[in-house]
Structures are given as structure tokens and as C-alpha cells.
Structure 1
Amino acid sequence: MNHLNNEFDADAGDVAEVTLDRAANVLLMDSSNYDNYKQGRKYRYYGGYATKSPVRLAVPKHGHWHVVVDLGGGPGQVRASTRLLSGASV
């Protein structure tokens, strides 16, 4: 599956802020769910289809996280940047 991935360590209460150049799926997931995503298996995530930028996703608990951006199999390309905001609010 064609996608962008940005990974980071974060604490509960941190916010992943994603800036997009077009509408896309923006998914926040832990490492095991990211592995499932890459293998085409069922996975759980926070976020979804975003039509406005920036997108802010709250990190639910301390750990290693992935922000995935994809077009859901649709045509074209997407550019995205991600930054972690420590202790920010959504």
C-alpha cells in the first residue's frame, strides 16, 4: 500500500499535527497496528479522512506511534508534514 509514515515517541496529552496539501486519510496508530496495516490485516487507528488542514490528533497514551497518510487507493499523490506538539490540546 502506498503511504507516508512518520513515527515518534510521545506521551499522553501530546498532539500530532499533520499539514496536508490535499484531502487524505490521516491515521494515528501504534506499532502493532501499523504492522497490521502494512500486511493488509485488520488494524485500529485514531483519525480518518481529513478534508481540512492542519489535522490534530491527540496521543492517547505513552508509547511509540505512527502517523500514516494515504489516499485510500485513490489516484494522485499527497504531501504532508507532521510535528509533535508536547502537552497541546486538540
Structure 2
Amino acid sequence: MATPSFRFTHYDLKAQRAGTVVEVTLNAVNNVRLMTAGNFQRFTERLDFKYIGGVARRSPIRLVIPDSGHWHVIVDMEGHHGLAESSLMIMAVPANAGQKQAS
């Protein structure tokens, strides 16, 4: 498996439900990319890939998982001075997410 030419930190989120919020804390500006397992494979092979996120100029940054499935987060230094120290927290989906409130 080839890897990108820049340094990155990889978080394997395993299976997650749609609506789950992922909070990433950084100590410097870096890219934060949330991607499916298939796109992570493409990322490691240096192919075009799709992701949610981008340059994180503030911390923490929160990303919402759009669909249930296997997800990955990459924190990378591409275009920046160095790889940020990072931490990740998965926030639980509210029990009533997606349900209408009774009037």
C-alpha cells in the first residue's frame, strides 16, 4: 500500500451511525478530513478521493457523519508547516435524533 508523501495522523472510527458528531482538537492549523473506508483506501493509494472537512483554522472542529458506515478521519499537514498534535472524540447521537417532537 502506497502512502501520501506528507505526514498524517489516521483515526479509524469503525462503524458509525449517521448523525454522529466527531470532534477533533488540534494545536496548529492542519487539514481534517472525514472519509469513507473506500475513500481512505484511495487516499492511501494516492488516487483522487472525496472527504468532508478541509483546512481547520480553529479548534476544536466538529464534523457530522452523513451516512451510517465505516468512517476514517485524517489529520494531515499538506500545505502547512508541520503535523499538528491532535485528539479525537466521538460524540453520541442524541436518542431522539431525526424524530419529530409531539405538539
Same fold, judged at TM 0.5 (above): yes
Residue 60 in 1 paired to residue 71 in 2? no
- Map of 2:100 onto structure 1: none
Of 80, 91, 98, 1:85 maps to 91
Larger radius of gyration: 2
CA distance in 1: counterparts of 2:46 and 2:64, whole angstroms: 25
1:4 to 5, 9, 20: 9
TM superposition outliers: structure 1 runs of 4+ over 3 Å: none
Aligned-residue offset at 1:78:
1.2
Give the number of the structure whose residues are more often strand, by fraction. Answer: 1
- Give the drift of 1:80: 0.4
Give the corresponding residue for 2:56: 50
Give CA-to-partner distance per residue, 1:64-89, whole Å, 9 cap, x none.
Answer: 11000001154423110011111169
Higher relative contact order (CA 8 A, sep 6+): 1
Distance 1:7 1:86 in 2: 16
TM superposition score normalised by structure 1: 0.91
Task: Provide the secondary structure at the position in 1 that maps to 2:44.
Answer: helix
Ranges in structure 1 where 5+ consecutive residues have no aligned partner: none
Identity %: 35
Partners of 1:56 and 1:74 in 2: how far apart? Answer: 20
In structure 2, stretches of 5+ residues that fail to align are 98-103
Q: State the one-letter code of the partner of 1:23.
A: V
Q: In the alignment, what sits opposite 1:40?
A: 46
Number of positions where the alignment pairs a residue of Structure 1 with one of Structure 2:
89
TM-score by length of 2: 0.80
Superposed CA RMSD:
1.5
